[in-house]
Structure 1
Amino acid sequence: MKLSLESIKSALGDGLLSFPVTDLDDKGKFNSITFADRLEWFMSHQVSSIFVAGGTGEFFSLSQDEYRSIVKVTSETVKGKVPTISSVGRSIPEAIQFASIAENAGIDALLLMPPYLTECAKEGVFEYAKTIMQSTNLPVIYYNRANGILPAEYIQKLADACPNFIALKDGTGNMEALNTTIKTLGNRLIYIGGVPTAEIISEAYLSIGVNTYSSAVFNFVPDMANHFYKSLRAGDKETVNLIIKEFFIPFVKLRSNSQGYAVSLIKAGAKLIGKSAGDVRAPLPIPNADEVETLKKLINKAATLIK
């Protein structure tokens, strides 16, 4: 079922968003059966929108054939119950190809990742984003992070040039720059929090009008993730402070043990709750036994934080 633009925008702007991990079997191949089960499980836990093949879904390591399978399974499983978004990016030709694959599969919108370069001039990033956005009929969310960061004036230019540019996902955590963009563009765009473990700065996001964010921990503690989000939106500071102190601060500390753990720990958490998606692909590292044990204790703690 094709969703209306307004329903997509509404879901992106108010409700908890999440990025399922990509299921791999014991040989490192995409596992469509367990991935479909994961999507069903996500929908049973009140997720507002589902972003597949994202950063948490190891987009950077997926082949075109794997991507094609992921978006096909997603559309066939979700069936319009919530908006589905898939990533595009890398080079311009690849991004255009992936966008076409997603559109043909019935995906509702795209998340445009930064280009693959070590350094990019703002003018070049703008042309990169504009070219890709203008190549597709799908609504596009721009992921402002890494080597693809655009300041307010370039976001404005991009919005003027591309009517299908509907949302900005912040991956910087730079509240000054983000607030400048929000005050410059107003309600022309929807704004989404997108730093790793976005809950840790969710209060700051909310204070400048960013009502939602992507929750990676939804992959293994969905009930607590929902409880935290609802408490945040309700202004329940006591509960928000408690969960940040008891879960998110220790989790972020564990995440800082190694680069890549923003994804690796999510897959480890999924395995701990009996919903294994296999291991991460290189160059991401696999957490060691002590780290997995620490994560297990955090998962047990999360269950006690839900009233």
Structure 2
Amino acid sequence: MAQTEIELDGLLAFPLTPFTGELEVDLDGLAENVESHVAAGAGALFVACGTGEFSSLSADEVAAVLAKARAVAAGRVPVWVGAGGGAAAARAGVAAAQAGGADGVLLLPPYLVTGPQAGLVGYVRHAVGKTSVSVIVYHRGTGVFSAQSAVKLLEIPSVVGLKDGYGDVEVMTRIVTTIRSLGTERSEGFLFFNGLPTAEVSAKAYAAIGVARYSSAVHCFAPEIAHRFHRALAEGDTAVMDSLLAGFYLPLVALRDETPGFAVSLVKAAARLRGDKAGTVRPPLVEPTSAQLDRLGRIVEGGFAVLKQIEGR
């Protein structure tokens, strides 16, 4: 447990899955993107997850993405991979992740349907099966856990943490407090993550309830900004965080909220604007309009202008 915690310190990056013009996975482009994340100082890579368009990938594509990412990372940072969907797909995905040498799995919610709390815990148990690879459970969508159900996850040895994409601070406070108050080595070492889109916007609030770890989609196209914000959060530098929020993150979120799926589409578009191999998104996600791309470009430029002002102080 302690080793897992050490490996997941730092800013967590979720690489995009690049596609060709025919919407096939571009593994060469992925290799370049993975290298750029590592070079920029990512603490760990989570490939083929939400930002990596897990829901649009086949099992073979997920395996290929994992293999390429591991080859490029070459042990410099941990490489985790997504799994999830229906019960059988989730179980097969976790098994494939272990067979493929992943450092861990982000287990996404069950596909389309949900069940009572006992069923959600059962979904995790079924997905894990007889594997031993570390698993972080994604708390969102059709897989929202109560505090009591989250405690049940501690009974599954390979489940090492919970990532919140639901966005209810009160619910997350109950979960964190209930688990930590158990006072066991297992409960004290259990990991919590802020997995909301553009997590920097909620980072201060989540850090206040003991959830300081978060994933940054901005690391895909502006790692300099992402790392400066992450440092400010660690140092409690409210002035720097507020400057970046006002001058970059909030305008980005306003644009993101205009169209469903833009939490991924805008990230890919911004990566392309900076010259990265990203390609377009697979349907049902859609690309930004030309007007939205113009605004996105100005927002990114504004973010770097704010960063320059901060560093010049």
Q: Does TM, normalized by the shorter one, top 0.5?
A: yes
- Paired with 1:247 and 1:135, the residues of 2 have a C-alpha distance of 45
1:303 lines up with 2:301 in the alignment: no
Q: Specify which of 173, 176, 190 is matched with residue 179 of structure 1.
A: 173
Q: Give the conservation status (yes or no) of the 8 Å contact 1:96–1:136.
A: no
Shifted more, 120-129 versus 43-52: the winner is 120-129
Aligned CA RMSD, in angstroms, stands at 1.2
- Paired with 1:11 and 1:168, the residues of 2 have a C-alpha distance of 16
SS in 1 for 2:202: helix
For residues 111-157 of structure 1, the C-alpha deviation after alignment (integer angstroms, 9 at most, x for no partner) is 00000124432221111112112332101000000110011100101
For residues 268-298 of structure 1, the C-alpha deviation after alignment (integer angstroms, 9 at most, x for no partner) is 0110000031100000011100111111011
Q: Specify which of 49, 74, 86 is matched with residue 44 of structure 2.
A: 49
Query: How much has 1:75 moved relative to structure 2?
Result: 1.2
- Paired with 1:204 and 1:134, the residues of 2 have a C-alpha distance of 35
- Paired with 2:66 and 2:98, the residues of 1 have a C-alpha distance of 9
For residues 40-92 of structure 1, the C-alpha deviation after alignment (integer angstroms, 9 at most, x for no partner) is 10000111110000000000010111111101101111121111110110112
Q: Give the conservation status (yes or no) of the 8 Å contact 2:91–2:129.
A: no
Counterpart for residue 18 of structure 1 = 13
Aligned partner letter, 1:183: T
Counterpart for residue 192 of structure 1 = 193
Counterpart for residue 9 of structure 1 = 5
Counterpart for residue 231 of structure 1 = 232
SS in 2 for 1:103: helix
1:277 lines up with 2:272 in the alignment: no
Counterpart for residue 184 of structure 2 = none
Counterpart for residue 125 of structure 2 = 130
- Paired with 1:119 and 1:222, the residues of 2 have a C-alpha distance of 36
Q: Percent identity?
A: 34
Counterpart for residue 28 of structure 2 = 33
TM-score w.r.t. length of structure 2: 0.93
- Paired with 1:164 and 1:104, the residues of 2 have a C-alpha distance of 15
What are the equivalent positions in structure 2 for 1:126-275 lying under 5 Å apart? 126-160=121-155, 162-186=156-180, 187-275=188-276
Aligned partner letter, 1:275: D
SS in 2 for 1:305: helix
Aligned partner letter, 1:85: W
Counterpart for residue 103 of structure 2 = 108
Query: Runs of 5+ in structure 2 lacking a partner?
Result: 181-187
Query: How much has 1:96 moved relative to structure 2?
Result: 1.8
After TM superposition, what 4+ stretches of structure 1 lie above 6 angstroms from structure 2?
none
Counterpart for residue 92 of structure 2 = 97
SS in 2 for 1:113: strand
Aligned partner letter, 2:100: A
SS in 1 for 2:40: coil
Q: Give the conservation status (yes or no) of the 8 Å contact 1:243–1:305.
A: yes
SS in 1 for 2:154: helix
- Paired with 2:3 and 2:69, the residues of 1 have a C-alpha distance of 18
Query: How much has 1:21 moved relative to structure 2?
Result: 0.6
Aligned partner letter, 1:285: V
Q: Give the conservation status (yes or no) of the 8 Å contact 1:270–1:277.
A: yes
Q: Give the conservation status (yes or no) of the 8 Å contact 2:94–2:128.
A: no
SS in 2 for 1:112: strand
- Paired with 1:214 and 1:188, the residues of 2 have a C-alpha distance of 19
Aligned partner letter, 1:172: Y
Counterpart for residue 86 of structure 1 = 81
- Paired with 1:41 and 1:188, the residues of 2 have a C-alpha distance of 30
Aligned partner letter, 1:159: L
Query: How much has 1:100 moved relative to structure 2?
Result: 2.1
Query: How much has 1:159 moved relative to structure 2?
Result: 1.0
TM-score w.r.t. length of structure 1: 0.95
- Paired with 2:297 and 2:115, the residues of 1 have a C-alpha distance of 40
- Paired with 2:147 and 2:160, the residues of 1 have a C-alpha distance of 15
Query: How much has 1:101 moved relative to structure 2?
Result: 1.9
